[in-house]
Chain A
């Protein structure tokens, strides 16, 4: 078992597609399925899954790309923090090119001398803080429940090491609250969610019960073509036979209860807060801030960056793309003024962004 080839088997894929076609014919009505995980968005484009499906099945991308949902004022604050002298500002590589106000970016200020370093994990930033005790190391934490526990673990590690020079700028966000908000979007008219695979390994499938309680189909799937197509087949089954509960296709990683240890670490370090999402506005209890016990590590408290006079380019429709209301190529800027090399909005920056996935695969 290599966990790759088996899940990309053309034979299995073709069987699943037959099955989906039959079910779609039985169900007759068009259905809209939203995926809310950046890696799902990428996989759908990368394998050309959209074109293989019957015309009645519409896949729309939701707010699943961590970089894309980062509010512009968060990017502006990151730029301010990174520009302070004697700091090393660390973040994931995806954030470098995200435009803040006036199309400024971490990549651009790095070129003018700011110390911006990309890391693969918050623990790498903690290691930098140990290595350079005379410098202040800031880590910008983005992502959902899949990344937040690792950042919580890094905070606990920094505490254990008694580090005084490690700071977290938490922009973490939570998936169930935003999915809840999307259920109320009249324009969207969703039939089902492909629930995020990695996030669900942490929070479990039970976290999405509110979706099936509203009569929508929901299935947690993995990221390979066979996973995604099996998920779509399960959704059709649910819609035809009646929705009862959230299904798990991604059994090899996801349990109903999720990962209790990761949940415990996350809630030990963070508490939920109302935060602003790019394009979606303020959503109650949808973000994570450090608990008071860990406030010594809070970059916002320590450095007090000024409130941002953030300016979003009005023509950029990242917000509508994130809500699944328009497809990336419905935006006037798409592929003309906004491209991966000169992005206007974050959805065009990250590989997990809907606009970049559409642009890179032109489909």
Chain B
């Protein structure tokens, strides 16, 4: 029988200690984690620190292109990167359902280590709790992250979005949500769709090094680029105009969405960001992005059409030249019936 996570793995005794040493420390090993103290002691000399947290509760835990672990690392790194900060350290806290397969947890932890390594970020502290069978859906992970801002660079915020700004996305939209949907409905579709799950900090650093002027960045995770654009318009008191034909979408993602009656615009992404910059900088930004593996399909999808508006709207010119409003989705996305 497979080795399983038992309640004892979270009780602080010998089993916990074994798990910490043989799994977490083995994979995440670094000088800050190694002492296994109550806190990791960081020596940050920067005056401007970015701090964020996120919890990951995805079902299924494994999907094409990633798993809950890689997601938990990439997601929190991306939240730091979107403010313009350089991500440095993460925490990782696990809430595990009794009976979860140890082998699966190992795969998840290994992919967290790999994701952190690739992003040059260290996991320096953590926690494990085990809850009785039936009290959680397998495994939940929380990661918090700390990053630093260059002293000469202000954090990117929606308030810096200006009329005339170009709106850029770094690649095809809807890949992550479509990958999860297709793995949930295994057997329903033969299309292999992979999550775009990745860390965006190197792409952001590349853009910062190019000295391109960036007004705002936002990762378009839940709600897709549609929901996130509607939110940004509201936060920045501006109106956007976007063009359906300019939004990059993989044909297999579009096909799956058509079957379910969903729109790629509102499907979650993991490594897609919306970038706002002066129109004069847009070509430079696109060129820089396209040199990065995560920006190959970058495209200008629209512009900021109005500023200081009481009613902030995102208007989309549809593929046939019609006009519609893009708003935040009300709740869970549900497939059509009829």
Contact = CB atoms under 8 A, between A and B. Distances in A.
B337 A48 contact: no
Q: Which of A38, A52, A147, A361: most chain B Cβ within 10 A? A: A361
B211 interface: no
A65 B261 CA distance: 14
A133 interface: no
Nearest to A356: B330
Contacts of A118: 334
A42 B324 contact: no
A200 to B, nearest CB: 12
Interface string A253-268: 0000000000000000
Interface in B297-336: 313, 318-325, 327, 330-332, 334-336
A275 to B, nearest CB: 17
Nearest to B332: A93
B336 A10 contact: no
A142 B338 CA distance: 10
A363 interface: yes
B320 A52 contact: yes
B322 A49 contact: yes
B254 A363 contact: no
B337 A2 contact: no
A14 B321 contact: yes
Contacts, number: 101
Contacts of A67: 337
Contacts of A146: 338
Interface in B109-128: none
Interface string A125-150: 00000000000000000111011000
B231 interface: no
A38 B336 contact: yes
B234 interface: no
A118 B331 CA distance: 14
Nearest to A351: B336
Contact of A362 (B319, B327, B331): B327
A97 B320 contact: no
A4 interface: yes
Q: How extensive is the interface on chain A, given as a class?
A: 35 or more
Interface in B121-180: none
A39 B337 CA distance: 9
A67 B322 CA distance: 27
A13 B245 CA distance: 14
A52 to B, nearest CB: 5
Contacts of A93: 332, 334-335
A94 B258 contact: no
A199 B338 CA distance: 8
Contacts of B292: none
Interface string B244-257: 00000001001100
A341 B318 contact: no
Nearest to B323: A48
A66 B318 contact: no
Contacts of B338: 37-39, 64-66, 143-144, 146-147, 196, 198-199, 352
Interface in B175-204: 185
B263 interface: yes
A47 interface: yes
Contacts of B261: 39, 42, 351
A51 B334 contact: no
A168 B263 CA distance: 31
A48 B324 contact: yes
A210 interface: no
A340 B322 contact: no
A294 interface: no
Contact of A361 (B251, B254, B325, B335): B325
A8 B338 CA distance: 21
Nearest to A37: B338
Contact of B331 (A142, A225, A340, A352): A340
A38 B334 CA distance: 14
A139 B331 CA distance: 22
A356 B336 CA distance: 13
A160 interface: no
Contacts of A196: 338
A363 B330 contact: no
Contacts of B325: 360-363
B331 A38 contact: no
Contact of A340 (B185, B321, B330): B330
B330 to A, nearest CB: 3
A361 B337 contact: no
Given A39-B336, A46-B263, A64-B338, A341 B320 contact: no
Contacts of A49: 320, 322
B318 A352 contact: no
Nearest to A341: B330
Interface string A113-125: 0000010100000
A47 B251 contact: no
Interface in B256-287: 258, 261, 263
A2 B323 contact: no
A4 B337 contact: no
A97 B324 CA distance: 25
Interface in A172-200: 196, 198-199
A5 to B, nearest CB: 9
A32 interface: no
A194 to B, nearest CB: 14
A2 B327 CA distance: 28
A8 B319 contact: yes
Contacts of B335: 92-93, 120
Interface of B: 185, 251, 254-255, 258, 261, 263, 313, 318-325, 327, 330-332, 334-338
Given A8-B320, A13-B321, A51-B323, 7 more contacts: A4-B254, A10-B320, A13-B320, A47-B319, A48-B318, A49-B320, A120-B185
Which 3 A-B pairs have CB atoms at the shortest separation, nearest pair first?
A: A48-B322, A93-B334, A340-B330
24 contacts: A8-B320, A10-B319, A10-B320, A38-B337, A46-B324, A47-B324, A48-B322, A51-B322, A52-B322, A92-B337, A93-B335, A142-B337, A143-B337, A144-B338, A339-B330, A340-B331, A341-B330, A341-B331, A350-B337, A360-B325, A361-B324, A361-B325, A362-B327, A363-B325
